Amino acid sequence: MQKIAPCLWFDGNAEEAARFYTSVFSASRIATTMHYTDAGPGPEGDVLVVTFEIEGQEFMALNGGAQFPFTPAISLFVHCSSQAEVDHYWSKLLDGGKPWQCGWLQDRFGVSWQIVPDALGDMLRDPDTAKASRVMKAMMQMVKLDVAQLERAYRGTA
């Protein structure tokens, strides 16, 4: 068990969300499900918390109610080694959600995700600021990130 794990607050659909996320990522599983007891505050027997793992990262999904909706102020960052991975996670997580600029999306539960190829960070950290600037400009015009297009910008052939 890791020392710190994110707890995601849902409005009654924590179990559905945990099942969805574990279907998107192959190295994942539902670990535990806890239910409300007669002590409440939810109806006895309803799901209180689902603990699940994605790629070795533990998460808690809590059915806390409607008072705290998700915002993009916190997002989950997915490292992708290839365009195929970007495409896979983008299409799966976007199902029922909304796309945003620069590789961000909001899934159907309201959770914000960044689907980012590792190559982007490598290009943006290049000491040649002209290359990094071209990549940043290209990225700012994208919704889903396109590795080939970012590489063309990096090389100055876009």
Between CA 37 and CA 80 the distance in angstroms is 41
pLDDT attached to residue 40: 82
Architecture of domain 70-158: Roll (3.10)
pLDDT attached to residue 19: 98
pLDDT attached to residue 147: 98
What's the pTM? 0.94
CB 28 within 8 A of CB 55: yes
- Determine the Cα angle at 70 with ends 43 and 18, to 5°: 60
Between CA 118 and CA 67 the distance in angstroms is 36
Regions of the chain short of the pLDDT cut 70: none
pLDDT attached to residue 155: 97
Phi, psi of 101 (to 5 degrees): -75, 155
How does DSSP assign 83-105, residue by residue?
Answer: HHHHHHHHHHHHTTSEE-GGGEE
Every domain of the chain and the residues it spans: 1-66, 70-158
Number of C-beta neighbours around residue 86 at 10 A:
22
**Among the four given CATH numbers 3.40.1400.10, 1.10.3470.10, 3.30.720.100, 3.40.50.920, the one describing domain 1-66:** 3.30.720.100
